[in-house]
Structure 1
Amino acid sequence: MPPSSKPSTPDRTTSVPVRRAVRAAAALAAVAAVTAGATDASAAPTPEPRADAVRYVALGDSFSSGLGIPEQTDAVCGRSSRSYPALVAGTVGAASFTDATCAGAATANMTGSQETVPPQLDALRADTTLVSLGVGGNDLDLVGTITRCVVLGYLVPHGSPCKASFTLFGTDEIGSRINTTAPKIDAVLREIRTRSPKARVVVMGYPALFPDDGTACRETVALADGDFPWMRDKEKQLNTMLAQQATARGATYVDVYGPSVGHDVCAPAGVRWIEPEETAEAAGFHPNAAGHRSMADAVLASLTR
């Protein structure tokens, strides 16, 4: 899918419904508290949907679905009731919320099915006002890359054996995958705009998996000490590409890397937002509930700009 030859101009008017709904959230809560004591709520007429109501659709992979975070609400796609999409929907008081995120999803699964799961973009409607998109990692085979690096780290604990394996003969295989994914992200964003022309679209970055200062924690993750900074750099390259594609298509890039620095897999339990292995808190190398809370805060902050 080739990239567009000319980026579209951002439509800033699409953010108005979202901003209004965010400001209205507190007022709605107060109204709910007053009316909660009514003796015959069933007798009240059903209100008409507000013109500025948020109609939210969440798209993305396991970093968006909340894989492994209790409570899991969908075993097939690994969705959690404490994922950032669920938290955002609750905070803005969304009039409708469709969580189409699914673990293992790549850009191809936005318009094509993922085994028994229908294409995620099928959840979009003409009246959708907010869309979050968190995808790209599986196009790079991020999990497979980390697994390969861990295996090589066991065998060669020093130096950068994983970096060397991905840069043979002067190539940069991960960098090439990122470049190949860029036009796919562009195509997804164009299709979102076609299906939901009124929507505010936010593109999610990925949180810091490894220490931003490049230090190693081999006692926690068996990467070679020189591969920690290399993995950090590749993730930053991925986030830079996502930000560029978002800007080119008039979407809002949400930086979740910056707030997560210091909360990577090397941080101790209770401080880390990324689990170094599968735990009761989340899937391995995925954000836990605290990580998703931070991601939700970043999304909500972006909606007020």
Structure 2
Amino acid sequence: MKRLPIAALAAFAAITALAPAASADIGPLHVVAMGDSYASGTGAGDYQPGTEGNCWRSNNSYSEQIVARVRARGTSVQFTNVTCSGAATSDLYKDFLGQGPQLDALQVDTNVVLLTIGTNDIGYAAYGGLCIQADCSGAPTQAITAKLPDMAKNVGQLLQDIHARSPHAKIVLSAYGSQLSPDANADGKLDPICDASVFSAQERTEGNALASKLNKTLQDTAYRAHLGGIDTAFVSEYAADSVHLNSTFAGHSLCQAGTPFYRGFDALAPGQEGPDAVLHLNKAGQTALADLIMAKA
């Protein structure tokens, strides 16, 4: 296969900056979306047939939205979405929830890989459940924080393996943000998850400190991959300091004044996704993340 030196640059420009369609001799963009529930769009609704209750693959996920926007500008995109709720880094190498290995979607001519992964390596969802049902402050928070270095190793190895299979691809690793405000509740009608009987002030403080450390760990992992010659970009809901949210996400965590970008106990209502979607990005949050990726990656 003939590879043009400009191909990868033109391809990623089309994804992130809505550049005009690539020329005919380059051909379509080859884009692969991989990862866990934040990548699949669990909580964002409009799920693809056969994925409700397992992978929860949403047509409102950030990757689906990005590809739709690029196609709307006339760029031809060959898109493969293999994201699946519940996936840890190790699950991308093997069959998972009836799906084949996510890594098998990669080809030598893949141009862009959109990826969110890491929290299932540390049991982040179970930690959130503990916070809701009991008390996750103190030892539980310390225990999950201690797992971050191993998560970093896993994600770092995954980035290397993606690069080995798709050596010309731009890898865009996105993060998770801050699901719950660390501050007092805003005025007005809020989701029941904001009640002090669900998350104590201490749990909010420690949970947000953990979310910040999680973000910094992923940021550093992506940076190390970049220094190692892997074309990697990190896109986060946080500012560069991994402490404050950026302007797109500031004010939109649960219990804040802005429109929430995350699902709370509304996901437990009849006809909704149930516990799988609690503390996950909703459609508005996935849209905001798509905006960030296209602007900053």
Q: TM-score range by the shorter chain?
A: 0.7 to 0.9
Residue 12 to residue 225, structure 1, CA distance change in 2 (3 Å): farther
Residue 80 of structure 1 and its aligned partner are, at CA, apart by 0.9
Q: What is the CA–CA distance in structure 2 between the aligned matches of 1:221 and 1:255, rounded to whole Å?
A: 30
* 1:164 lines up with 2:143 in the alignment: no
Match of 1:65 among 5, 25, 40: 40
Query: Contact 1:281 / 1:289 at 8 angstroms: preserved in 2?
Result: no
Gaps of 5+ in 2: 186-192, 227-231, 239-245
Residue 131 to residue 221, structure 1, CA distance change in 2 (3 Å): farther
Match of 1:92 among 65, 70, 74: 70
Partner letter of residue 79 of structure 1?
Answer: R
Q: What is the CA–CA distance in structure 2 between the aligned matches of 1:191 and 1:20, rounded to whole Å?
A: 25
Residue 240 to residue 12, structure 1, CA distance change in 2 (3 Å): farther
Q: What is the CA–CA distance in structure 2 between the aligned matches of 1:181 and 1:85, rounded to whole Å?
A: 23
Match of 1:266 among 244, 255, 271: 255
Secondary structure, in 3 states, of the residue corresponding to 2:138?
A: helix
Query: Contact 1:218 / 1:224 at 8 angstroms: preserved in 2?
Result: no
Rg larger for: 1
Equivalences for residues 165-180 of structure 1 within 5 A? 165-166=139-140, 172-180=142-150
Residue 106 of structure 1 and its aligned partner are, at CA, apart by 0.5
Q: What is the CA–CA distance in structure 1 between the aligned matches of 2:252 and 2:64, rounded to whole Å?
A: 22
1:290 maps to 284
Residue 22 to residue 206, structure 1, CA distance change in 2 (3 Å): closer
Aligned residues: 259
Q: What is the CA–CA distance in structure 2 between the aligned matches of 1:60 and 1:239, rounded to whole Å?
A: 16
- Deviation per CA, 1:107-149: give whole Å up to 9, x if none: 0111122142211111111110000110111111111101111
Secondary structure, in 3 states, of the residue corresponding to 2:125?
A: helix
* 1:109 lines up with 2:98 in the alignment: no
Partner letter of residue 223 of structure 1?
Answer: F
* 1:236 lines up with 2:212 in the alignment: yes
Which range moves more in the overlay, 275-284 or 73-82?
275-284
Match of 1:215 among 152, 163, 184: 184
* 1:276 lines up with 2:264 in the alignment: yes
Residue 162 of structure 1 and its aligned partner are, at CA, apart by 2.0
Residue 150 of structure 1 and its aligned partner are, at CA, apart by 1.6
- The alignment's TM-score, normalised by the length of structure 2, stands at 0.79
Secondary structure, in 3 states, of the residue corresponding to 2:114?
A: strand
* 1:191 lines up with 2:161 in the alignment: yes
- The alignment's TM-score, normalised by the length of structure 1, stands at 0.77
Secondary structure, in 3 states, of the residue corresponding to 2:120?
A: coil
- Deviation per CA, 1:158-193: give whole Å up to 9, x if none: xxx4222326xxxx3112111111100011000010
Q: What is the CA–CA distance in structure 1 between the aligned matches of 2:78 and 2:196, rounded to whole Å?
A: 41
Match of 2:129 among 147, 161, 182: 147
Query: Contact 1:17 / 1:52 at 8 angstroms: preserved in 2?
Result: no
Gaps of 5+ in 1: 1-10, 29-47, 153-160
Write out the 4+ residue segments of structure 1 that deviate beyond 3 Å after TM superposition: 11-16, 20-25, 213-218, 279-282
Q: What is the CA–CA distance in structure 2 between the aligned matches of 1:121 and 1:14, rounded to whole Å?
A: 20
Residue 244 of structure 1 and its aligned partner are, at CA, apart by 0.7
* Aligned-pair Cα RMSD in Å: 2.6
Partner letter of residue 206 of structure 2?
Answer: W
2:173 maps to 203
Residue 23 of structure 1 and its aligned partner are, at CA, apart by 5.3
Q: What is the CA–CA distance in structure 1 between the aligned matches of 2:39 and 2:113, rounded to whole Å?
A: 12
* 1:18 lines up with 2:20 in the alignment: no
Q: What is the CA–CA distance in structure 1 between the aligned matches of 2:9 and 2:130, rounded to whole Å?
A: 42
1:5 maps to none
Partner letter of residue 77 of structure 1?
Answer: C
Residue 22 of structure 1 and its aligned partner are, at CA, apart by 5.2
Query: Contact 2:44 / 2:286 at 8 angstroms: preserved in 1?
Result: no
Q: What is the CA–CA distance in structure 2 between the aligned matches of 1:293 and 1:111, rounded to whole Å?
A: 28
Secondary structure, in 3 states, of the residue corresponding to 2:137?
A: helix
Query: Contact 2:55 / 2:97 at 8 angstroms: preserved in 1?
Result: no
